[in-house]
Amino acid sequence: MKALLQRVSRAEVTVEGESLGSVASGLLVLLGVEKTDTKLHAEWLARKIISLRIFEDSDQKINRSVIDISGSVLVVSQFTLCADLSRGNRPGFSYAAAPNFAELLYNEFCVQLKGHGVPIAEGRFGAEMKVDLVNDGPFTIWLDTGDLMRS
């Protein structure tokens, strides 16, 4: 799984002008699911994200997690994170999971976040979405379970 995290002061996802979900202080997670991903990847990634100390404490040190700040997470499916750009200029998506499988793991990831007590909002899997956000910092992190679970 690949996740692009953005620390936000607010974020909202809409489809055809209808708001599907929004968060105030917390994280926007754009999530891509690859063919080789499993439920273990979803569990690991959810635990990693809620544990990341990327929010400031009272001394302005980056020392608090999304749970510590009572923050929320907006999760948006983003298969284009699985793009293969190794040849030519047109992205290939052969590493991306098939939609049915990807949706199962996307939902599992959301269940895992909720299981840790994190309030979440979601986009609509497979829909053409608009995401509006205010990146706080800006603070953006790239996570790839293929890289991280090996270490």
- Give per-residue pLDDT as tens, 94-110: 999 999 999 999 999 99
Going by C-alpha positions, the residue among 24, 43, 19, 34 that lies closest to residue 122 is: 19
The pLDDT assigned to 146 comes to 84
Catalytic pick from 36, 55, 60, 80? 80
Q: Note the pLDDT tens digit of each residue in 73-86.
A: 999 999 999 999 99
Separation of alpha carbons 94 and 107, rounded Å: 21
With respect to CATH, is domain 2-145 assigned 3.50.80.10?
Answer: yes
Catalytic pick from 79, 109, 112, 145? 79
Residue 23's Cβ-side half-sphere holds a number of Cα atoms within 13 Å equal to 29
pTM for the predicted model, two decimal places: 0.94
Judge whether 55 counts as a catalytic residue: no
What is the SS3 assignment for 105?
helix
27 Cβ contact partners less than 8 Å away, ≥ 6 residues apart: 5, 6, 7, 8, 49, 66, 71, 72, 73, 74
Judge whether 78 counts as a catalytic residue: yes
Nearest 5 degrees, angle CA 121-CA 122-CA 124? 155
Going by C-alpha positions, the residue among 94, 93, 102 that lies closest to residue 41 is: 102
Judge whether 36 counts as a catalytic residue: no
Weakly modelled stretches of the chain, pLDDT under 50 = none
